[in-house]
């Protein structure tokens, strides 16, 4: 048997450790394993015994890029357990800060990390050489997202102004109003970047995904909605654990998410978009059309464009909310302790992020469960890789490696927030 092994260690630095193993026999792909060997971090265990009020700040530490997703999921779950409901003003401010997270996370990934794959470039440094205006625009957009998070949350990495029940302090009206001119600029800038991406040479591929996301009748979902799928699933958030399961696999330290029948599913921008296209703003829908996208996008490589459509939408939303801003007074509602159980689910930039907690009469945590988007997407990532490798066995190992990494980046995977990845082994018989 002739074996070829290729190891690419150039990106093998430290955290977010993953690898891909591919075995090909002739034209047939025998095995594809997306391996994660990031050590488990035991957040769910260390939450036990802590106060309910601590859950948002502790779980925010799961991720430096999408802390708001964890903060908001934990807040919602705790408020549900405590039997309280925040005011519309608090809810609007939460949506605004979440828009900031979508903007900065999507722009960082799409423009700085994923775009090089489409241009045959190795990194953002090279892009800034060939498309400096694109990079300048992307950096300014990302800064806009960070600024939103700083103004509302106190700082952009692990914000400190958020809490169960609302916010510690309401941002002054003048500070929110000061965001408006840059938000106005950002709407058009995001559209321009989306159109730039639409001109990329995008690989042909299509998959009949089961798209799973929040679905809301009146708004493009960020914080609210029922959990639905493109195949007709429609459940309330607390029913998540009846329909979705996580299992251990030998080749990964991260749990793999499946639907109850064992099938894989997709969460993230493509799923939100497919399930909620007509709740996008008219301008964001127009950008999607001008980029050549339909109401449903099944080519995973076009996720880079969908991310920018979502960025445009998030900026429009933040602008709408900033113009209508009324400081919540009081900035948070009372959250008296009681025993209970509660679930929360929001749309992190990478997709559905589910929390559930049980608390005792002193509002101390008895149990916690957190299901982040990347673990839900892992089986689908492997399915995509299997399909892509099968269709491209004629490529040499270097080109195949490139295509595989590009495929994984379609998901913006967040393995302790850092998987760009690292080792690829191709074994050919």
Partner 1 sequence: MTEPTLYIGVGHAMRRDDGVGPWLAEELAKRGQRAATHEGDGAALMALFEGEERVTLLDATQSGAAPGTLIRIEADREPLPASFFRNSTHEFGLAEAVETARSLGTLPPWVHVYGIEGEEFGFGEGLTPKVAEAARQLLDRLACPTHP
Residues in contact with partner 1 by CB under 8 A are 11, 13-15, 64-65, 108-109, 112-113, 123-125, 128-129, 132, 135-136, 139, 142-143, 146, 156-157, 417-418, 420
> Minimum CB separation from partner 1 for residue 44, in Å?
17
CB closer to partner 1 out of 10 and 174: 10
> Minimum CB separation from partner 1 for residue 132, in Å?
5
d(CA 380, CA 66): 21
The residues, any chain, with a CB within 8 Å of residue 207's CB and separated by 6 or more, are 298, 300, 383, 384, 387
> Minimum CB separation from partner 1 for residue 267, in Å?
19
CB closer to partner 1 out of 275 and 419: 419
d(CA 174, CA 157): 23
Residue matched to tokens 């994660």: 36
> Minimum CB separation from partner 1 for residue 101, in Å?
13
CB closer to partner 1 out of 11 and 296: 11
CB closer to partner 1 out of 275 and 418: 418
> Minimum CB separation from partner 1 for residue 314, in Å?
17
CB closer to partner 1 out of 158 and 216: 158
CB closer to partner 1 out of 116 and 340: 116
CB closer to partner 1 out of 130 and 169: 130
> Minimum CB separation from partner 1 for residue 11, in Å?
7
> Minimum CB separation from partner 1 for residue 197, in Å?
18
Total number of residues shown for the chain: 429
Residue matched to tokens 């469960």: 369
- Cβ atoms of 142 and 56 within 8 Å: the answer is no
CB closer to partner 1 out of 120 and 129: 129
> Minimum CB separation from partner 1 for residue 232, in Å?
35
User: Which H, E and C letters describe the chain, residue by residue?
Assistant: CCCCCCCCCCCCCCCCCEEEEEEEECCEEEEEEEEECCCCCCHHHHHCCCEHHHHHHHHHCCCCCCHHHHHHHHHHHHHHHHCCCCCHHHHHHHHHHHHHHHHHHHHHHHHHHHHHHHHCCCCHHHHHHHCHHHHHHHHHHHHHHHHHHHHHHCCCCCCCCEECCEECCCCCHHHHHCCHHHHHHHHHHHHHHHHHHHCCCCCCCCCCCCEEEEECCCCCCCCCCEEEECCCCEECHHHHHHHEEEEEECCEEEEEEEECCCCCCECCHHHHHHHHHHHCCHHHHHHHHHCCCCCCCCCHHHHHHHHHHHHHHHHHHHHHHHHCCCCCCCCECCCCCCCEEEEEEEEECCEEEEEEEEECCCCEEEEEEEECHHHHHHHHHHHHHHHHHHHCCCCCHHHHHHHHHHHHHCCCCCCCCCCCCCEEEEEEC
CB closer to partner 1 out of 109 and 355: 109
d(CA 87, CA 333): 8
> Minimum CB separation from partner 1 for residue 37, in Å?
15
> Minimum CB separation from partner 1 for residue 168, in Å?
22
CB closer to partner 1 out of 15 and 290: 15
CB closer to partner 1 out of 359 and 422: 422
> Minimum CB separation from partner 1 for residue 91, in Å?
27
């Amino acid at each position: 048997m002739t074996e070829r092994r290729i190891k690419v260690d150039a990106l093998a630095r430290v955290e977010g450790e993953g690898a891909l193993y591919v075995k090909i026999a002739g034209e047939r792909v025998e095995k594809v394993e997306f391996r994660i060997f990031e050590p488990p971090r035991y957040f769910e265990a260390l939450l036990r015994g802590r106060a309910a009020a601590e859950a948002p700040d502790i779980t925010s530490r799961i991720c430096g890029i999408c802390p708001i997703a964890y903060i908001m999921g934990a807040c919602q779950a705790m408020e549900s357990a405590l039997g309280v409901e925040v005011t519309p003003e608090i809810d609007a401010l939460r949506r605004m800060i979440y828009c900031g997270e979508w903007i900065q996370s999507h722009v960082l990934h799409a423009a700085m990390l994923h775009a090089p794959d489409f241009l045959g470039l190795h990194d953002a440094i090279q892009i800034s050489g060939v498309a400096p205006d694109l990079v300048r625009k992307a950096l300014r957009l990302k800064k806009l997202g960070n600024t939103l998070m700083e103004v509302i949350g106190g700082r952009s990495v692990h914000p400190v102004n958020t809490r169960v029940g609302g916010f510690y302090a309401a941002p002054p009206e003048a500070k929110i109003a000061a965001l408006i001119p840059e938000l106005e600029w950002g709407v058009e800038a995001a559209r321009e970047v989306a159109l730039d991406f639409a001109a990329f040479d995008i690989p042909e591929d299509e998959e009949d995904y089961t798209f799973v996301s929040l679905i809301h009748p009146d708004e493009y979902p960020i914080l609210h909605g029922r959990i639905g799928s493109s195949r007709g699933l429609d459940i309330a958030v607390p029913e998540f654990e009846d329909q979705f399961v996580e299992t251990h696999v030998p080749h990964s330290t991260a749990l793999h998410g499946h639907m109850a029948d064992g099938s894989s599913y997709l969460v993230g921008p493509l799923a939100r978009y497919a399930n909620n296209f007509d709740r996008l703003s008219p301008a964001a829908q127009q950008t999607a059309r001008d980029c050549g996208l339909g109401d449903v996008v099944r080519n995973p490589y076009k996720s880079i464009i969908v991310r920018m459509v979502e960025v445009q939408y998030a900026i429009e939303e933040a602008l709408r909310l900033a113009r209508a801003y009324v400081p919540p007074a009081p900035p948070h509602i009372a959250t008296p302790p009681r025993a209970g159980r509660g679930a929360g689910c929001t749309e992190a930039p990478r997709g559905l992020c589910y929390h559930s907690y049980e608390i005792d009469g002193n509002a101390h945590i008895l149990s916690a469960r957190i299901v982040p988007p990347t673990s839900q997407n892992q089986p689908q990532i492997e399915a995509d890789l299997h399909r892509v490798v099968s269709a491209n066995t004629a490529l040499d190992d270097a080109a195949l490696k490139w295509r595989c990494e590009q495929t994984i980046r379609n998901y913006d995977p967040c393995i302790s927030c850092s998987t760009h990845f690292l080792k690829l082994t191709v074994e050919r018989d």
